[in-house]
Amino acid sequence: MKKNLLLFILCLVGWYGFAQATEQIIVLPQTRGVLEGTLLLPPSHKPIPVILIIAGSGPTDRNGNNPLGVKAKSYQLLAEALAQNGIASLRYDKRGIGKSMKAASKEIDMRFEDSVNDAAQFLDTLKKDKRFGKIYILGHSEGSLIGMLLAQKVTVNGYISVAGLSQGIDEVINQQIKAQPFPDSVKNTVSEYLSILKKGQTIPKLMPHLVIAQLFRASVQPYMISWLQYDPSKEIAKLKTKILIIQGDADIQVAEQEGQNLKKAAPKAQYLMIPKMNHALKEGSLDRTETMKNYQNPDLPLIKGLTEGIVKWL
Write out the residue range of the structural domain in which residue 85 sits.
Answer: 20-167+232-313
Whether residues 187 and 305 fall in one domain: no
Is 186 a domain residue? yes
Alpha helices in 43-178 (DSSP H): 74-84, 112-127, 142-153, 169-178
Is 1 within the bounds of a domain?
no
First to last CA, the chain: 40
Total domains, the chain: 2
Residues 67 and 82 in one domain: yes
* pLDDT tens per residue across span 30-66: 999 999 999 999 998 899 999 999 999 889 999 999 9
Give pLDDT, residue 21: 85
246 within domain boundaries? yes
On whether both 110 and 211 belong to a single domain, the answer is no
Q: Note whether residue 69 is domain-resident.
A: yes
Residue 185: C-alpha distances to residues 6, 193, 208 (Å): 75, 12, 11
Q: Which segments in the chain show pLDDT lower than 70?
A: 1-19
Clarify whether residues 188 and 100 are in a common domain.
no
The whole-angstrom separation of Cα 216 and Cα 55 is: 24
pTM of the complete model: 0.91
Indicate which CATH number applies to the domain containing 134: 3.40.50.1820
199-247, pLDDT tens digit by residue?
Answer: 999 999 999 999 999 999 999 999 999 999 999 999 999 999 999 999 9
> Domain for residue 4, yes or no?
no
Q: Is residue 91 part of a domain?
A: yes
Residue among 128, 147, 145 nearest 52 (CA): 147
Domain end, chosen from 223, 240, 262, is at: 223
Task: Tell me if 3 is assigned to some domain.
Answer: no
Q: What is the pLDDT of residue 110?
A: 96
Is 46 in the same domain as 155? yes
